[in-house]
Amino acid sequence: MTSLQRWLLRLIYWVFIGFAALSIHGSFSFLLLNTILAYIPIELSFWLTKRRSALLFWLIAVIWLLFYPNAPYLMTDLFHLSLLKPYGINGLLRFDLPMWRDFAYLVGPMLVSVLVGTYSVDQIALEIQRRLHLAKLPWGRSLISGGLFLFASIGVYVGRFLRLHSIYLLITPQYIIKQLIEMWSEKMFAFVLIIWGLQLLFYLVWRWTLAAANDQTK
């Protein structure tokens, strides 16, 4: 991703964040906080490059890992679409422009965050592979990405059902540790696998698209 593309992406996020702060209230006010939390790992990923010293890279990488689940977490916000009451008395979708505007508010940040987040995971996995000298590990880049996605899926569960945000790690770490120890169950594992599978689907499509683009340039 070029420097210009990064600044354009920052502009898109901050325009929406500013718009959400000024215009989105009531049932969808959660979009402001959730979008900011999803943006933090995107911004951090811009700093995880080979130019960073080992100490700085791994420090930022740990912070990024703690905040990254906020990006795929936005997928679960789509359940709030039910607040729009989209179906009329005839059972068909209503043609109501304010409703479709709110639909865009929910779907837009989610798509951007998941797609850019998937790209960032792939690039960070590549850099981790280089720094740990794992070039000879079969499918090393994909295995690292899969591990990061698995961690993120657990984070989505923690955020959605335990109602714990990443920022709580800096405020009440002991309370969070207790919650994490007690959360494990078969249903929890099933949910994590579903979210993990969705992230892997985005990742596989991303890698396939990248491979197809490379083939066309040859």
pLDDT one-digit tens code per residue, 32-63: 889 999 999 999 999 988 888 989 999 999 99
DSSP letter assigned to residue 218: -
Tell me the pTM.
0.86
From residue 212, how far is each of 17, 35, 138 by CA, in Å? 34, 31, 21
State how many domains the chain has: 1
pLDDT one-digit tens code per residue, 70-129: 999 999 999 888 888 888 888 888 888 888 888 888 899 999 999 999 999 999 999 999
Q: Does the pLDDT of residue 145 top 90, yes or no?
A: yes
Predicted local distance difference test score (pLDDT) of residue 208:
87
Domain with 108 in it:
3-217
CA angle 55, 56, 59 (to 5 degrees): 85
Which are the contacts of 50, defined by CB distance < 8 A and separation ≥ 6? Answer: 127, 130
Phi, psi dihedrals of residue 103, rounded to the nearest 5°: -60, -45
The closest of 188, 201, 180, 179 to 72, measured between CA atoms, is 201
- Chain-centroid distance of CA 68 in Å reads 6
| Alpha carbon distance 110, 71 (integer Å) | 8
Q: Is the dihedral of CA 127, 11, 65, 109 positive or negative?
A: negative
pLDDT band at 168 (very low <50, low <70, confident <90, very high): low
